[in-house]
A and B are shown apart, each in its own frame.
Chain A
């Protein structure tokens, strides 16, 4: 196993990964300073015959320094993280007129509902498929996430997308895929016996391929009804 994140596949993933690695460098620095410091002190001040420890109860200046530096770092991280969070979850970050797809989580599958030509969910031209989530690349998508029974969680690792699906709530999230390929939805909240196998196929198409797939599926769904 190498120590890397999966190859990113979404716009928000880029921001999240950058923040992840920033925190990595900050924490690695702190780690090295503290651990090396501890080990150095253990060696340098190891007990020896005739050695006298220094009798001191502390140092106010040192306290101020090592309070201020972590505090400043945390303020910086808070502001930076806040901006990234807002770019993903604030109400104005949501794209207008995006492709809206309904996802209903239930034990132990994902029911995905596509709107019809009107691009709106909730009327007769919608159609539903099981355990497949197909979207076009480079186009923002809004998922209206629901659950039928327990709390599940809609997690697509490569897209850095995760949102709990809560029964009784409809939770909108949005994301935009930046490369085509096949991925999976993995349920990320313990939801019962089949939690470990609650997965679905994610396919990111190029635009033409998506249109073709959509038309075909839509036709199939309505043909089946007749």
Chain B
């Protein structure tokens, strides 16, 4: 058990009193690092499930009506003799989206890295509310289990899309799914509560528990991005919960919120869902952008280009993200005048994203680029996110959206930003922070193979979908052959399916590499990437409580390649022998504030002593 005590110097100091039993240390742990790692295993599992569901979808689209190899194990209600039923297809598309968005990508970005990184990057011993943090994780587990279990109930798993539009989702007589739809809702409400409680922790910790000298504009961009995403969770998730509860009541106790009989409004569901849903997709991309900034600065050996602009761009995207939700509803029957206003806000929001892309390019410019695996994934993110962002411009234009809404053009866009974007950044983050988390390296050559295979197969799978959308292939259809305008696309669909299955194979490769490295990876030093942020100034992995004495921060997070230094990096908590060029007065202020003397500050030792 650890307590924080006051010592004569006035600096808070951590004291560890005795060893904990296994279950307190690794299962019901309040240590943010353990909780982050728990979320990692949780989300990698659901990433695998989501991938499997995608393979099943692609099998049907690639070889319609053919028996799935090994599909005999599936029950009659899903795929008799291994041949998929349309109702199962509807559940597959629904659950693929649901698992990927809520149980894989969001927890990988936030559950893992907000938990793991924030206290380390800001120089704190742990989160503000460690017990609440533990609760956040353990609430998520039953939510995941319930979602999995919903496949096994009568009527099968939810089948109204991850967007669950009413009245289809509210009426079992229309969807054919009853209990599964209800379990879907309850699972997400519970998960949402876990997310909200986590967000309370992240926001409070960043506001209140920064180390001396860690001012707002010295925070690493990963922390900024996670902080802002936490605010988005706090403000958007509760609206989803309210909507879900109303939908559940429509399904079960005879209310009519979204059902037209008795005056309910189907469009109300869409407004509520997307009011949450749009900030949600920014929750799914902002942390990714934060990680990419960290890695690109490190890999280029340069300060991030335009740090302040990057922060303001994050804030602008987050704020504007609350004003664009109607762009999902241009063809919904909503007042066309609203179509105009949402189009404007949607076009505007592309500007801060563009600013970020140019700033990343500015960071690469005149750099001294190291091509380690995290850097490959970070640059891959930029290249693929740009495609996703540009495809978004077509949808932003309301008249063009008339044609491409609910087609595979949208599916292409989603996957370029969520897979090419978020997941690539997640891979980069996993490779980058793996040494810190587990004290071992993932072999760089093996990682590069993963990167190139994924990059190539991803583009082969998803780029053609822009073309499929242009041809008018609709989303969520079990059998495109029913339509004359889709008569020529079967070959493309088959090729896409082959690439998709191979892409899933790269995911398996990665999981094997990940687990192999956990046990057999080369031992990692404290700072394998020669990085500047505070987490790298601790041992790999850090001790419980992170520091015995909290570090003192003297300058910004990306002080790479300063001309007056021998080495090309300067840790945030290293006393600059050269005074911080931008703000010499701040260094003096910090020195005065902390009463630090001429000796080196605590935490500069990277071998774990002190």
Interface residues of A (CB under 8 A from B): 1, 3-6, 12, 15-16, 19-20, 23, 26-27, 30-31, 34-35, 37-38, 41-42, 45-48, 51-59, 62-63, 66-67, 70-71, 74-75, 77-78, 81-82, 84-86, 88-90, 107, 149-151, 153, 155, 157-158, 160-169, 171, 183-184, 186-197, 199
Chain B nearest CB: distance from A6 CB in Å?
A: 6
Contact with A along B458-473 (1 / 0, CB 8 A): 0000001001101110
B residues near A57, Cβ cutoff 8 Å? 303-307, 556, 582
Checking A31, A62, A190 against B362 with a beta-carbon cut-off of 8 angstroms, the contacting residue is A62
- Identify 13 residue pairs between A and B in the complex whose beta-carbon atoms are under 8 Å apart, listed by A's number: A20-B400, A35-B386, A47-B301, A55-B561, A56-B366, A57-B305, A77-B396, A81-B400, A85-B399, A107-B174, A165-B333, A183-B484, A190-B165
Q: Is B98 an interface residue (CB 8 A)?
A: no
Q: Please report the C-alpha to C-alpha distance between residue A63 and residue B362 in the assembled complex, in whole angstroms.
A: 10
Q: Please report the C-alpha to C-alpha distance between residue A7 and residue B264 in the assembled complex, in whole angstroms.
A: 40
Sorted from nearest, which 6 A-B pairs have the closest CB atoms? Answer: A168-B260, A157-B472, A58-B306, A54-B366, A89-B336, A196-B478
Q: Is B482 an interface residue (CB 8 A)?
A: yes
Given contacts A85-B336, A107-B174, contact A77 B397 (CB under 8 A): yes
Known contacts A12-B402, A150-B165; 20 further A-B pairs (Cβ under 8 A):
A20-B400, A23-B394, A34-B386, A38-B383, A45-B364, A54-B367, A55-B303, A56-B305, A58-B307, A58-B362, A81-B396, A82-B398, A149-B174, A155-B472, A157-B403, A168-B264, A186-B483, A188-B407, A190-B160, A195-B477
Q: Please report the C-alpha to C-alpha distance between residue A75 and residue B339 in the assembled complex, in whole angstroms.
A: 16
Question: Are the C-beta atoms of B168 and A16 separated by less than 8 Å?
Answer: no
Question: Are the C-beta atoms of A56 and B303 separated by less than 8 Å?
Answer: yes
Question: Are the C-beta atoms of B361 and A74 separated by less than 8 Å?
Answer: no
A residues near B362, Cβ cutoff 8 Å? 58-59, 62
Q: Is B81 an interface residue (CB 8 A)?
A: no
Q: Please report the C-alpha to C-alpha distance between residue A1 and residue B483 in the assembled complex, in whole angstroms.
A: 15
Question: Are the C-beta atoms of B399 and A186 separated by less than 8 Å?
Answer: no
Q: Which of B258-313 contact A (CB under 8 A)?
A: 259-260, 264-267, 300-309
Given contacts A85-B340, A88-B402, contact A54 B483 (CB under 8 A): no
Question: Are the C-beta atoms of A166 and B303 separated by less than 8 Å?
Answer: no
Question: Are the C-beta atoms of A3 and B470 separated by less than 8 Å?
Answer: yes
Contact with A along B354-390 (1 / 0, CB 8 A): 1101110110111111110000000100110011001
Checking A20, A160, A190 against B476 with a beta-carbon cut-off of 8 angstroms, the contacting residue is A190
Nearest-CB residue, chain B, relative to A78? B347
Nearest-CB residue, chain A, relative to B361? A37
Question: Are the C-beta atoms of B300 and A53 separated by less than 8 Å?
Answer: yes
Chain B nearest CB: distance from A134 CB in Å?
A: 16
Question: Are the C-beta atoms of B354 and A52 separated by less than 8 Å?
Answer: no
Question: Are the C-beta atoms of B397 and A190 separated by less than 8 Å?
Answer: no
Q: Is B35 an interface residue (CB 8 A)?
A: no
Question: Are the C-beta atoms of A149 and B400 separated by less than 8 Å?
Answer: no
B residues near A63, Cβ cutoff 8 Å? 306, 309, 355, 359
A residues near B561, Cβ cutoff 8 Å? 52-55
A residues near B186, Cβ cutoff 8 Å? none
A residues near B301, Cβ cutoff 8 Å? 47, 53
Q: Is B527 an interface residue (CB 8 A)?
A: no
Q: Is B200 an interface residue (CB 8 A)?
A: no
Q: Which of B466-503 contact A (CB under 8 A)?
A: 467-468, 470-472, 474-479, 482-485, 488-489, 491-492
Question: Are the C-beta atoms of B485 and A19 separated by less than 8 Å?
Answer: no
A residues near B348, Cβ cutoff 8 Å? 71, 74
Nearest-CB residue, chain B, relative to A15? B399
Given contacts A31-B386, A47-B370, A162-B406, contact A192 B477 (CB under 8 A): no
